[in-house]
Structure 1
Amino acid sequence: MGGIGKTTLARNIFDDSLITYHFHTRVWVTISQKYHVREILLSILKSTNAITDKLNQEMDEEVIAEYVYKRLKGMRYLIVLDDMWSTEAWDDLKRVFPDDDNGSRIILTTRLFDLAVYTNSFGHQMGFLNEDQSWKLLRKKVFGEEYCPLYLKKIGKLIAKNCQGLPLAIVVVAGLLSKAKRNKYHWENIARNVSLAVRENDEHFSKIISLSYIHLPHHLKACFLYFGAFPEDYEIPVFKLVNLWIAEGFLKPKESKSLEEVAEEYLNDLVKRNLVLVTKKRSNGKFKFCSIHDLLRDVCIQKARGEDFLHVMDVIQKDIRKKRRLCFSKCLEWYHFKNADKYTTNSSPARSIFCYLYTDKVIGFKLLRILDVLETIFQTFPIEILILFHLRYISFTNGFISSLPPSLSKLQNLQTLIIGSSMSFRTRDPMLIVPFQIWEMPKLRHLVFLNITLPPVLVESPVLENLQTLSRVRNFKFTNKVTEMIPNLKKLKVFYTGQSCKQRSEYDLDNLVHFHHLETLNLKFNPSSDWWKEPFPIKFGLPLTLKKLTLSGCGLSWKDTSVMGSLPNLEVLKLRSLSVMGSEWDPIEGEFSQLKILLMEWLDLKYWRAYNNHFPSLEKLRISHCSGLEGIPSEIGDIPTLQVIEVDCSDLAVDSAKLILEEQQSLGNDVLQVRIGSHLEQDFW
């Protein structure tokens, strides 16, 4: 059954450091009831770092399956197929897993005993927790390492008992208790509600889980129900979720905090209540992806429908015109949605539409604020939606649009515009042409594209005080006017290609220093093959507010890194391919005082001399594809904050990492982990 701990057990195995070390590659795939073989195969390739633009566009499932087989051939792999619902799914996938008798393993989780038997493998059937185990889990989730007060112990055991051994119910109730006042009155009230839920009917697990919703603060209820809008087993990009909440108007403004920061606080609260799972974190520790358990999603959908908050539809319903938020499932027939106009009126109260495929019938929803389309099959921006004046959020992902119309500026309430996949940063993608009217939309907060050429800023262009994100911009000039016009920019991804790399002085990159609120900068050069024969003067400015810096193709010298080292707030530094050139790096004492994450990959570094006081706050170090590196300084291991060293390059570097680990273990340091090989955590980095 659901919520009994199958995925948790599999995840603990998958993430174990010994498992990570033992297998060449590890792949986690969630199957779900409505699975698509092509998407699963592409997910496997992505996890093994074998995905390419050509394969991503390949429609022939057999071609992709053959490539997966060849990719895994000879590897010692661990594959987790989580939440499988049918023998057909196993039959569809088992053919791509080669059996080389080399210790490869497949872990399958399912609620169906017959499916486990069908795979003809060793099975482990999960059971319910006994009363003692239930209490231990509840106590750990509520109190952590603290003791439970004696006056709450008896009540706590009763609550744990009434959860009837289901880990998910225990964890959810623990989230509720952790936020409640620690006195007998509040705990007894929760105990009565749990007991009542158990006595009422056989759906007591759903009733128990619903208690957490009932006890949520009012400002979190809408945010929680909103998770019902996303497909089952979907990994939700936190960036997307946050901006949807903002567009919906769910957030209460707080003094000195942006709406994005408030949204992150709300999400963190839901995570602490054990209602939302964090599936991936960014290198700076912030949440990158999240998800929700199937049973909790069912509760969201049920409650949302009951409160007329949100409706998930498999078929078009006649009362569609009365709904405020509409989610059309992937199985909804295309012709049904095309005929939706006979169910809509200009007076429809719908504020939000989530769908897999676009139809121009959305123009019947005149009050629409949010339009989220997962699959786009057109290349021209649908100009008919420009009459939807109230739109705040538009997302067209997994497709290509070649240009935006000048009349886009009619959408004066637009806050977030996402065109193309938000998950990649590739300089070879088709370019999106944007009109200068984009600078006439004062409420814009986030512009995220695959590959965009922005128009020059006009002298008369207004100040866009709300704009915080500008992502995947090509060959853009940062004139003084630009820095004045978008003064509150927090996140910037920009890249330069071809001849623009040689003409870099024309792009005024030294003006980047004037972005006084910039926290994340990704600067990439993708030049011709011989450009780095010329010296690269350090002609881009770095504002003191930077927390995360990613460089690629810059051709700096190692001495130039002192500019980065002097940044007082820098926590994450990623030096990717040819970002820095030269064989020796001698950091200066006192630099990189706040740096927590350091990544170096595809560099020609040979000698690295460093001491523990050079990176006093370092927590994670990764060195990848630096084939000439002769070793990691042994003093790096003495940094008290260091938790992980990951190495995937020369044998000398690998040997030095192992030696550091041995030395630290001999000194009683059992915190430091060393990971070796090509199977390291790609998503984190």
Structure 2
Amino acid sequence: MEIGTEHTHQVDLMSVEVAWELLWRSMNIGEEKEVQNLKGIGTEIVCKCGCLPLAIKVIATVLASRDQTENEWNKIFRKINCPQKKLPGDIEEALYISYDELPHHLKQCFLYCAMYHEDSTMFRDDLIRLWVAEGFVEEQPDQLLEETAEEYYYELIHRNLLQPDGVYFDLSRCKMHDLLRQLACYLSKEECFIGDPESLGGQSISKLRRISVVTKKDMIVFPPMDKKHLKVRTLRNPYGVSQGIDPSLFKKFSHLRVLDLTNSSIQSIPSYIGNLIHLRLLDLDGTEISCLPECIGSLVYLQILNLQRCKAMHILPLAITQLSNLRRLGLADTPINQVPEGIGRLELLNDLEGFPIGCGDGNGKTKDGWKLEELEHLSQLRRLQMIKLERATSYSTDSLLTDKKHLKVLRLYCTKRTDGPYSEEEVSNIEKVFEQLIPPQNLEDLAINTFFGRRFPTWFGTTHLSSVKYLNLLDCNSCVHLPSIGQLSNLRYLKIDGAAAVTKIGPEFMSCRRDNSRSMDVIVAFPRLEYLIMMNMPNWEEWSFVEEEDAAAAIATEGGEDGSAKIQKGKALSPRIQLLPRLKSLGLVDCPKLRALPQQLGQEASSLEVLILREARSLKVVEDLPFISEMLSITGCDCLERVSNLPRVRELRVQYCPNLRRVEELGSLQRLFLTDDMREMSSVWLPGLQLQCRQRHGEDLDIYTWA
């Protein structure tokens, strides 16, 4: 149904009921009874939304922000029924109202997303930087502009105006629904142009403020234009097409605030760029430039300089330290080896990615990397990635990072060595350096990459990581034991990728040792962890959650040649210990020596939905996991013989498991995915699954080819 038309259409009653249910559930206001008295007017609203789920969801956020009275809901209904703004027939009025209800700053941010191509994935951090550079973000007391912009991003998601990419649970990537993008493009059509710039032709461009280049041509070329009529503030090439740049571009657009040349084949930046005095953001990500001109220092208002993935660039100009308004310097994956002294003078810098550590030696005014001391005066740091930490020396104090109250993201990288092992002196030094890099208690995201010390720093598992939500330990192949982090109360995501020295994971990892608690205390290990990924651990053999004597007291087992163990009915883990109560997804990848899953996993992980096993070649059984509710995926488990007692799992995927002879007690199974290599072996147990499915559900099991 088109919104705003006077004539009525007959709407399927069931569709209206479903639409009403979607409306009140989308409002997140509690029980249905709270709005049940509004069902009449609510039904009229969802009908005016054409029972379109997107329109219902966005109008629900508008209704939720009003008083839950018939008078307030009638106001919204009248706006939909008698629109004040004429819209094209294919744009829903309910979508426009959700836009119209936004405060001014959010309207600007929403319309800006129209600069992205249809179906494009938008990165949260990119949007934040663009919104700051465009001046859309209002200053708030004691808060960085980037922190405020991040709140804008999540607010647009909350209002269903941006859709988070479900693959990324931290909501760091999103898309815009086609219908909402049509609305944004329509409302910003006079100021924004998306397409091949050559097609601008004789079009009036005096009102044009933003150009997003979409072309397959080898060169970005603009038609002849009268410079005095050009007021373009934003020029972007965001779609990753390798293109050259018309050199005259830098002279034509003298009012630019945002210049994004991502992935273009430009090899040099003309000195005229120093005349773009209004420039706030310069993005040269993935370009072929080898250097920046010293006139870059003339860009006194520049806030964001992206130089990541510039493979030919090895030196930063001295003028970088003159950019007193710089808020971000991105150097990740760029082989910078000569830097100017004095980066610590850029006191507004809050996003520093790819900070190369060095001894500070060099010729003239450039140095072979920065010393840790350069970070001392950067009190605004919000995101920090340090690389080449193996070149650092012990610092005079442990408070280098602890006083940085805005620091939320910290990446600590060493360089992978290819010319032999590290010496004992180097190992001792890196352990001392990491021991001193104590993070502040406000840190939310920590990654450690290629750390070659034999033990993790002692600040792991302490209050210094009490706010951490995301933890990545990557290629820490010399550490014999994993850190004791089970008591990190806010940890939601944990990835351990590369831990070659680890052979056993025990209760110390879960922080479940008995001496950690008083007799009456209840220990909850990983109380908020939702995603656990453990991969590339070639020597890991044993995994246990509790002390052996505790396990023996709680669980009676009968061992067999296949290493299986049955849980005795009525026995459970000690009530003093709770494990992984919110774990949703567990992935074990490339752990070829792991012999068994912990028995307590089936007792304690009551929220588990997905289990992924890949190249766990020594596992013989996967059994007694009653909570797995969505999917079990098994790949390359050569020794696996039995999968049993997974009563809630709905989907099973199997490939390269040549010895899997028994699959049973999967009472809720609805979908089975098999690769061609499993056809013959599955004939042994597939008839039993089919019979079980017919008896319980009255229909055959859905079987698919897993390509």
Query: 1:479, 1:507 within 8 Å by CA — same for their partners in 2?
Result: no
Alignment correspondent of 2:258: 370
Residue 538 of structure 2 is aligned to residue 598 of structure 1: no
Alignment correspondent of 1:291: 175
Alignment correspondent of 1:521: 410
- Residue 347 of structure 1: CA displacement? 5.1
- The 1-side partners of 2:35 and 2:592 are apart by 54
Q: Aligned runs of 1:382-397 on 2, under 5 Å?
A: 382-397=270-285
- Residue 676 of structure 1: CA displacement? 2.2
Q: Aligned runs of 1:75-474 on 2, under 5 Å?
A: 130-143=15-28, 145-147=30-32, 148-196=34-82, 203=89, 205-279=91-165, 285=170, 287-305=171-189, 308-314=190-196, 315-319=199-203, 321-331=205-215, 338-340=221-223, 342-346=224-228, 348-355=230-237, 357=243, 358-360=245-247, 361-421=249-309, 429-449=311-331, 450-453=333-336, 455-456=338-339, 458=341, 463-474=345-356
Residue 544 of structure 2 is aligned to residue 633 of structure 1: yes
- The 2-side partners of 1:519 and 1:138 are apart by 35
- Name the SS for the 1:550 alignment partner: strand
Q: 1:386 to 1:201 in 2, by over 3 A?
A: closer
- CA RMSD, 1 decimal: 3.5
- The 2-side partners of 1:505 and 1:199 are apart by 64
What's the TM-score once normalised by structure 1's chain length? Answer: 0.70
Letter aligned with residue 624 of structure 1 = M
- The 1-side partners of 2:142 and 2:335 are apart by 32
Query: 2:356, 2:370 within 8 Å by CA — same for their partners in 1?
Result: no
- The 1-side partners of 2:88 and 2:402 are apart by 62
Letter aligned with residue 186 of structure 2 = Q
Query: 1:647, 1:654 within 8 Å by CA — same for their partners in 2?
Result: no
Q: 1:610 to 1:597 in 2, by over 3 A?
A: farther
Residue 578 of structure 1, aligned match among 476, 491, 494? 476
| Identity within the alignment, % | 23
- The 2-side partners of 1:580 and 1:508 are apart by 26
Query: 1:492, 1:522 within 8 Å by CA — same for their partners in 2?
Result: yes
Query: 2:277, 2:300 within 8 Å by CA — same for their partners in 1?
Result: yes
- Residue 239 of structure 1: CA displacement? 1.0
Residue 532 of structure 1, aligned match among 398, 418, 422? 422
- The 2-side partners of 1:226 and 1:190 are apart by 26
Query: 1:350, 1:365 within 8 Å by CA — same for their partners in 2?
Result: yes
- The 2-side partners of 1:346 and 1:404 are apart by 28
- The 1-side partners of 2:474 and 2:394 are apart by 24
Alignment correspondent of 2:453: 556
Residue 561 of structure 2 is aligned to residue 677 of structure 1: no
Q: Aligned runs of 1:481-500 on 2, under 5 Å?
A: 481-496=373-388
- The 2-side partners of 1:208 and 1:653 are apart by 55
Describe the superposition over 1:45-81 as per-residue Cα deviations: whole angstroms up to 9, x where unpaired.
Answer: xxxxxxxxxxxxxxxxxxxxxxxxxxxxxxxxxxxxx
Q: 1:332 to 1:586 in 2, by over 3 A?
A: closer
Alignment correspondent of 1:647: 588
- Residue 516 of structure 1: CA displacement? 2.4
Letter aligned with residue 259 of structure 1 = L
Higher relative contact order (CA 8 A, sep 6+): 1
Q: 1:402 to 1:592 in 2, by over 3 A?
A: same
**Richer in helix (by share):** 1
Describe the superposition over 1:377-429 as per-residue Cα deviations: whole angstroms up to 9, x where unpaired.
Answer: 1222343322101100111233332112222111111001112459xxxxxx5
Q: Which runs of 4+ in 1 moved over 6 A?
A: 198-202, 506-511
Alignment correspondent of 1:111: none
- Residue 651 of structure 1: CA displacement? 5.2
Alignment correspondent of 1:544: 439
- Residue 631 of structure 1: CA displacement? 2.9
- The 1-side partners of 2:251 and 2:29 are apart by 52
Q: 1:270 to 1:264 in 2, by over 3 A?
A: same
- Name the SS for the 2:432 alignment partner: coil
- Residue 166 of structure 1: CA displacement? 2.1
The structure that has the greater radius of gyration is 2
- The 1-side partners of 2:398 and 2:336 are apart by 20
- The 2-side partners of 1:355 and 1:226 are apart by 15
- Residue 131 of structure 1: CA displacement? 1.4
- Residue 633 of structure 1: CA displacement? 2.3
- The 2-side partners of 1:602 and 1:187 are apart by 56
Unaligned runs of 5+ in 2: 3-11, 359-368, 513-524, 547-576, 616-632, 635-707
Q: 1:303 to 1:174 in 2, by over 3 A?
A: same
What's the TM-score once normalised by structure 2's chain length? Answer: 0.68
